[in-house]
Amino acid sequence: MTISYDGGYFQNISQRAAYEYCMAFSDYTSMVSEGLDYGIQEHVESSYKDLHKFFGDLYDELFYHPENFYLPTTEDMAYEDFEPKESRPEVTKAWYKPKTEIKNGLEFLYAIGQVGVINQQNLLLSKEQYNDIVKKSKVKKQFIKSMQCVELHVIDEEENIIITNTRYPKMMPALKQLAVGCQQHKDEMGFIYFYQCNFKAINPNYEIDAPTILKKIATTQYDKIILLHNYLINQGYKAICKYPNISYQGSRKAKSTPLLVISFDPRAKETFGFSLKLASINRLIPHIYNQPDFLQEDFNKRTHLCTGCGWCNSRDGMNPSVFEYKGEKKTLCCWYSFIIHHHLDDELFRVIKQYSIFHQMLAS
């Protein structure tokens, strides 16, 4: 795969839909047991590599040639940071159609891998099994036919259906093993591991970790973001992974919800983002003056004035607060402005580190 993306618009809406799956695609990792005879090891390894190449080719085709799969090539659309998503439902509607068709196609592959049996390097299903999978996955027959561009062929015999690949003839045993292995995982993670072509998931105890997710979603920001991740972990924060998002939870005595959330939104113009979610303003105000000047300056930017709406009056421990900054006093709302960041520079890194220390102090 040769896809590179660092924010902005795609050439068409189907590229935006396909990117979610392209981004998720795993680097090849050999999971062949060393206890096998060399000849068997070589055979299994060849099957794994063929399957991995197949997924790479499929994602390339979906991204660069969506028209071959009868996916729309209309102009790309995306949300800006400042837009409430409900304000432009047409963005989600336009993206959802190609996203669903791709998802259905991948669910079709996942299901045939689970149900089919290996027969001479091919996948064999009864017609009843095959038709049931097509119906349940809701995959379009034209999408299945379009996978011939990566040499996946569905051969209709008298009683059975044979699935084969002439470009990667050894891929079917690996498809079978990956699909059955991924089926062991809870919720939707099995399917996610499958379309990632993540052979580590054959192990039922496997769980994707934060660095692996960050490498996928942060792209060019990865080298900086992983340093922040390591810092927060060393400070005692816990990375809570719910693919493709990560939350960093500190002591619940300081804040019951995560301080930092890193997320991926395929509908956004900048798909990768992260945001600070501070404790309520009235809890921070008594201690903010003991913080460095650079943090007081950032804190000032994140606050907004009390409008007297009265929302906080019905909630215990939440009320407007008076904040004095550079000789100016102002009454602040108990909540802060929600800012989504897309790039981690040295100054923002310093700010987040100091907020993490500040919030840990609240717990002491």
**pLDDT of the residue at 317:** 67
**pLDDT of the residue at 304:** 87
The residue written with tokens 């995959």 in the block is: 139
Q: Which residue has the higher pLDDT, 43 or 160?
A: 160
Give the pLDDT band of residue 223 (cuts 50, 70, 90).
very high
Mean pLDDT of 257-280: 94
Does position 6 have pLDDT exceeding 80, yes or no? no
Mean pLDDT of 124-142: 97
Tokens of residue 218, six digits: 């942060």
Share of the chain above pLDDT 90, in %: 77
> Rounded CA gap, 36 and 34, in Å?
5
* Cis amide bond preceding 244, omega within 30: yes
Tokens of residue 110, six digits: 């996942």
**pLDDT of the residue at 338:** 81
Does position 206 have pLDDT exceeding 70, yes or no? yes
Q: Which residue has the higher pLDDT, 29 or 295?
A: 295
**Each residue's pLDDT tens digit, 37-91:** 555 678 889 999 999 999 999 999 999 999 999 999 999 999 987 676 677 889 9
Give the pLDDT band of residue 7 (cuts 50, 70, 90).
confident
Mean pLDDT of 325-337: 87
Task: Enter the DSSP assignment of 310.
Answer: -
> Rounded CA gap, 172 and 169, in Å?
7
Cα angle 22, 70, 193 (rounded to 5 degrees) comes to 30
**pLDDT of the residue at 80:** 86
Does position 318 have pLDDT exceeding 90, yes or no? no
Asked if residue 274 lies in contact with residue 243, where contact means CB atoms within 8 angstroms, the answer is no
> Rounded CA gap, 22 and 4, in Å?
10
**pLDDT of the residue at 110:** 98
Domain boundaries, the chain: 13-202, 211-363
Tokens of residue 338, six digits: 């929600």
Asked if residue 152 lies in contact with residue 169, where contact means CB atoms within 8 angstroms, the answer is no
Does position 36 have pLDDT exceeding 60, yes or no? no
> Rounded CA gap, 198 and 22, in Å?
13
Share of the chain above pLDDT 70, in %: 95
> Rounded CA gap, 276 and 272, in Å?
14
**Each residue's pLDDT tens digit, 239-266:** 999 999 999 999 998 889 999 999 999 9
Asked if residue 114 lies in contact with residue 179, where contact means CB atoms within 8 angstroms, the answer is yes
**pLDDT of the residue at 37:** 59
Cα angle 61, 17, 1 (rounded to 5 degrees) comes to 35
| Average of per-residue pLDDT values in the chain | 92
Give the pLDDT band of residue 187 (cuts 50, 70, 90).
confident
Mean pLDDT of 344-362: 96
Q: Which of these ranges, 23-27, 134-138, 184-188, has the smallest mean pLDDT?
A: 184-188
> Rounded CA gap, 211 and 125, in Å?
38
Among 336, 283, 278, which Cα is nearest to 306's?
A: 336
**pLDDT of the residue at 42:** 80
**pLDDT of the residue at 8:** 87
Mean pLDDT of 171-194: 96
**pLDDT of the residue at 130:** 97
Give the pLDDT band of residue 342 (cuts 50, 70, 90).
very high
Mean pLDDT of 87-103: 94
**pLDDT of the residue at 35:** 60
**pLDDT of the residue at 124:** 98
Mean pLDDT of 268-293: 93
Tokens of residue 236, six digits: 């005692």
Q: Which amino acid is at 45?
A: E
**pLDDT of the residue at 180:** 97
